Structure 1
Amino acid sequence: MENDRSTLNHMNAPLIETREKILTTAEQLIYQNGIHATGMDLLVKTSGVARKSIYRYFATKDEVAAAALNARDVRWMTWFRTESDKAETADARILNMFAVLKGWFESEGFHGCAFINTAGEIGDPNDPIRLIAKLHKQKLFDYTLELCEQLTIEQPSALAKQLLILMEGAITMARVMGDFSAADSAKDVAQLLLKQASS
């Protein structure tokens, strides 16, 4: 039985690799160029995967985009939480979030937030792409709220919302204005909010 499972896994490996190659390429293209500029022709050319093979996994370009953004959401949130959680206390982790953002801003290939970018291209608030973007921001809020709830304060939800606005503002300033120090400015305001909430 174990040998059968091993054989099946080995047989499925090329299929998994092809699907991952499509998603990785789609994610990179969408992040660099946006959804509208990322057509099937470009995906085929860049990934090296035949159009027929892509349609074997995904019925439409929108399906490819949704799957790629879902994968990015999981990976980005895992990275962000792991890096932010390297600080020891909840308030230190909250402030560390802004240091983590600054490191991201300064990294090679930074093009802002993929979810803000793609949501800006889609007019319909009920479009699956917009809903993925909304879910991503909800996860970021939930993590921030989780940290705020570890503090001894009266309104953790209100503080979490303020912190999320600071983070989103810093991301936008970094992308639009090229001002990576926006993370530092946001961190300064976060310190004031923490002090105010604790008093």
Structure 2
Amino acid sequence: MSRGTTSRSTAGGSTSEARARLLGTATRIFYAEGIHSVGVDRIVAEAQVTRATLYRHFSGKDELVLAYLDLADKGIRAQIEAAAASEESAAGKVRAVAWSIAEGIRSQGFRGCAFLNAAAEYPDPAHPIHQAVLAHRRWFLETVTELLARTGRPPADAAGRHLVMLRDGAMAAGCLSDPEPVCETFLQAVDAMLES
């Protein structure tokens, strides 16, 4: 796993079914209810494993949280890569990324950005979980900045920061109110940025 997590696996290097259940359960509950509000006892009970099994796969709750964020990071990277690959023009790639973000905001059970939620619960910049959030956000900023640079509309650095802020705002508003007008405003703002 990335960012300093130490994935423990079964003999032969394959991930065990118990580990997958633990991570799947933690992912569902952490995202829906928050990280600090959920104890390992609940995760163990819902995953139907023993506490010893949890500690065989993860050194503790922090490592489980890092695995949850790593899984979220991989999912978002795949989503952004697929969206960008679906279009030929540089501006089309940026629009496709924006549309994929809007689709996520419109999805059932959307509760904001998993990374912003984690940062709110782990505000210490030195904490490994906060560092994982920052690493994901750096990747996202670099990715959208590179896509924007290909449009030939400078300055790409400022536009990249602008797009990240638009995304953050849309994700926050999308879980607090009707996501449809939020997504419409977000997509219009991205279009306006590309056309300016």
Return the TM-score normalized by structure 2: 0.87
Counterpart Cα distance in 2 of 1:143 and 1:99: 16
Per-residue CA deviation, residues 64-86 of structure 1 (Å, 9 max, x unaligned), is 11112112211222123213431
Q: CA RMSD in A?
A: 2.0
Return the TM-score normalized by structure 1: 0.86
In the other structure, the counterpart of 1:118 is 118
- 1:180 is paired with a residue whose SS is helix
Paired residues for 1:36-51 under 5 Å: 36-51=36-51
Quote how far apart the aligned CAs of 1:178 are. Answer: 3.5
Q: Is the 8 A contact 1:144 1:160 kept in 2?
A: yes
Quote how far apart the aligned CAs of 1:120 are. Answer: 0.8
Q: Is the 8 A contact 1:26 1:68 kept in 2?
A: yes
Q: Is the 8 A contact 1:98 1:184 kept in 2?
A: no
Q: Is the 8 A contact 1:31 1:114 kept in 2?
A: yes
Aligned residue type for 1:60: G
Change (3 A) 1:17 1:78: same
Change (3 A) 1:13 1:47: farther
> After TM superposition, what 4+ stretches of structure 1 lie above 3 angstroms from structure 2?
10-15
Q: Is the 8 A contact 1:99 1:184 kept in 2?
A: no
Change (3 A) 1:84 1:110: farther
Q: Is the 8 A contact 2:79 2:100 kept in 1?
A: no
What 5-or-longer segments of structure 1 have no aligned partner? Answer: 1-9
Same amino acid, percent of matched pairs: 26
Per-residue CA deviation, residues 128-151 of structure 1 (Å, 9 max, x unaligned), is 111111111111111101211212
Quote how far apart the aligned CAs of 1:164 are. Answer: 1.2
Q: Is the 8 A contact 2:32 2:111 kept in 1?
A: yes
Quote how far apart the aligned CAs of 1:58 are. Answer: 1.4
- 2:59 is paired with a residue whose SS is coil
Change (3 A) 1:55 1:87: same
- Larger Rg: 1 or 2? 1
Aligned residue type for 1:100: S
